[in-house]
Structures are given as structure tokens and as C-alpha cells.
Structure 1
Amino acid sequence: MQRLLAQKAVDGLREASRRSVVQGGGPERFQYVTRVTQGQLSKCWTHDPSRKTQHVMAIDIAVEADMEAGAPVIVGEMARILGYRLVRDDGADSAGGGLGIADIGAFQDAFHALSQSMIQAVADGKVDPREAADILEKYANFMRVAHAVESKTHGCEGEV
């Protein structure tokens, strides 16, 4: 029997699982808010060619990981594989009536924080795990703000 998911898609899900858990504080912290241990979590993204099957994260754990990360990292990857994109269903995004000056400031602030953390991390020629976690945290925040800007911009259709 041939699987519907190509290996590349499975690898994408596994990488999204790793990113989501890291953005949510890392496997050490996440294991206390879900039903699996740190060791079981690492099996969801560690590639081991000697194993016949590679594990992916169970759906309930994936949703919890995205909740901890504050962004739909894994669920977004699932949607992308199926040919969809996620759109935030949030009254706060649409209630504002579209893109405003405050959104531009929030976008600039998030981008500046991300770029500054990246610049500081590479200043000594290597990025340590603490710096990488900081970059991922700033990146997750930037993506949330960018998504809000995108959603509000779509809401501007017909507005001048």
C-alpha cells in the first residue's frame, strides 16, 4: 500500500512540529502541558534512518503545541500540504475596519525586534541555543503581526 503523503510532506510536518515546540518554550517545558514526555516528543522530529517508521505528532498534541507557540505552525503546515492557507477567524482583526497606522507601527516594531535579535546572535560568529530560541520567539511574534496585517489588508477591499 502506498501512502498519500510523500516523504517530503512528512518531513515538513516533523520540522513544523519541532518549530512549534521550540516556539512554545521547548520540549522540557512543553512536556508538562501535554500527555507525552520530552523523549516521546523528540521522536516526532528526530530523523533516524535505522528506524522503519518515522513518527509524526498526534493531532491533539499538535494543537496543544501550536497553542503553546501562540501560532498555528503545525496546523498551518497541514493546511499547506492540502493546498489551503489558514485565515484567522478573529473578531478583533475584522472589527478594526482594515489596516491602520497602529498596524504599521506594530509591524515595524516586530520586524525591528526580530532583526535586532538576529544581528546580536550572529555578532560573535555563531548562534547558541539561547540565541536561536530568542530568534524563534521574535520570529513567531513577527509572523503573528504580519498575519494580522495580511488579514486586515484583505479587509480593505473596496475601502479608500
Structure 2
Amino acid sequence: MTTSFDGALCDGGHRMQVRVFYEDTDFSSAVYHASYLRFMERGRTNFLRLLGTDQRGLFEDVKGEETGFAFVVRSMQIDFYKPAFMDDVLDIITNPKDVRGASITLLQQCKRGDVLLVEARVRVAFVAGGKPQRLPRFLRTAMQGGSDHH
């Protein structure tokens, strides 16, 4: 079941909104830098859910296989351009940029209206038992539909 707070698939990627709460801010009333990481994590998780999977579902799909399937962040390059503040409504935009056998590089943006606040390139790997595994075919195909892979 999906809900409005799951966001929506659009233009080969995903878009969702979050409202900034007091708990997301620091002493200066600006959004604390680590809060953006949580917002982007929600965006990645909801993107996968709307593509027809979720991490819990991946565990169920591999009965008889090694347990411990998950997506793990391998690297992240992040730029902070402008602050967000309490009660702002932010768009969290996630787009696949490079889809490989066992990993995906995603471009994630946090925007307030048309203003880019934070941008990150996030490489996630699909792992089982602590080792990289090939992405499930349906997921690789869905991601490549919106990527500029080579």
C-alpha cells in the first residue's frame, strides 16, 4: 500500500515532500546537516517501494538464500548550498544516474520551491551476507529506464 507521504515516481525518478520540524533544526533554527541525510534516506526508500519493492520484500524474495540482503551506502558526495528552516516544505528528488551490476549511483536534491538547498551523489550497493550481489533484474531494468548509464 502506498500513501501520499511515499511521494511519486516522475521523469524516471522519485519526488516526495517533507516538512521541517523543530527536531530537524539546530541551535541557529536552520536544518541540521544530518537531517538532510534522513530526508534523502526516506526518498531512496520510497523510490524503491514505488518501483515495486521494499527492503523487507527483498528479504522475502530470497528464501533459501543467504540472509541479510540490504542496500548499503558505499559513498556520498554532498554539497550544502542554502539553509532550510522550521516549517519549510522541501522537495526531495531522487534520480538514478549510473546503474551497474551490484550498485546504483543516485543524484538526490533537496529543494525549497525552485531553490536548490542540498545536492548529493549517493552510491548504494546491494549486498547479502556482507558481499555485493547483482541487483535483481526487475530493479536494474526499472532504474536504467531513467538513468544515463553507459
Q: Is the pair's TM-score, using the shorter chain for normalization, greater than 0.5?
A: no
So what's the TM-score if we normalise by structure 1? 0.23
Greater strand percent: which structure?
2
So what's the TM-score if we normalise by structure 2? 0.24
Give the structure with higher Rg (CA).
Answer: 1
